Amino acid sequence: MDRAPSLGPLLALGALRSPFRRPGPDAAFPRTRLALRGVRPDLGRLAAYERVCGFGTGEDGLPITYPHVLGFPLAMRLMSAREFPLPLLGLVHTGIEIERYADLPGDGSYDVLVHVEKLGPHRRGTEATVVTEVRLGEEVVWESRSTYLARHRTRHSGGTAREGAGPPLPVVEEWRIAGDVGRRYGAASGDRNPIHLHPLTARLFGFPRAIAHGMWTVARCLAAHGVPTAAEVRAEFRAPVLLPATVAYAAGNGRFQLRSGDRVHVEGRIRPRVTR
């Protein structure tokens, strides 16, 4: 592709096509690999992203979660395509695995590639795995695997191949999350899904209030935790954060959680990698 697609029209197109989807783990899906060459982060939006997520501003490298923002328009292009079998409306981001192999300069020029890797059964429906790869020159410097769940009736009764929840972690600090964080994150990331923007639009999709972006919750936790340059991150989005909210950030032994009382919203772990 010669430029990033606009997210608004893709969301509208995906919404229109959603009622006609026939999800299932054996359904055909697009095998296309979309590529966008020479992507340079918008430094103004990058600074806004760092502020809303709690990363230190003015640092040379991109936050570990920011390449997801660069690849998200391509992922949306694939998931809104006619050939994608899962309905975009109601699709739930259930988890992400990130591997960062090297520092990513904020003024770098990147090639971003995205494809749908597979569909798989889930006890609540069908899950798609979307892979994003970021290259600096010929070197792969960052990649991720995101899972998205379409809920529907299924005969599959087992769980997915994920790590179970670990024991509760010690609380490090409490955060008061403002009601407008969805709008601020949406402006910085381009992800303006109506469930995140306002109570009235969230209610159209069954939520009593707007909910925080899952990728904001994991970014906020990683900003507080700190991540080595070469690292592997895995996170599961377990329950939405209704805005505004007061939540506890807990961490220990390379693991982190965001929770309200006994309810875990996001849980993950961080491991250092040997630099390539």
- What is the domain partition of the chain in residue ranges? 7-272
Q: Report the distance separating Cα 63 and Cα 27, nearest Å.
A: 35
Tell me which fold the domain 7-272 belongs to.
Thiol Ester Dehydrase; Chain A (3.10.129)
Q: Report the distance separating Cα 33 and Cα 262, nearest Å.
A: 41
Q: Give the N- to C-terminal CA distance of the chain in Å, as an integer.
A: 29
Query: For position 161, what pLDDT does the model report?
Result: 45
Question: What are the percentages of helix, strand and coil residues in the chain, rounded to 5?
Answer: 25, 35, 40
Q: Report the distance separating Cα 39 and Cα 150, nearest Å.
A: 30
Query: For position 166, what pLDDT does the model report?
Result: 61
Query: For position 157, what pLDDT does the model report?
Result: 54
**Residue 199 token pair:** 């109570």
Where does the chain have alpha helices with state H? 7-17, 43-53, 66-79, 181-189, 199-203, 214-225
Q: List, for the chain, all residue ranges whose pLDDT scores fall below the cut of 50.
A: 161
Query: For position 156, what pLDDT does the model report?
Result: 62
Closest CA to 114 of 86, 80, 73: 73
Q: Name residues whose C-beta falls within 8 Å of residue 198's C-beta, 6 or more positions apart in sequence.
A: 183, 210
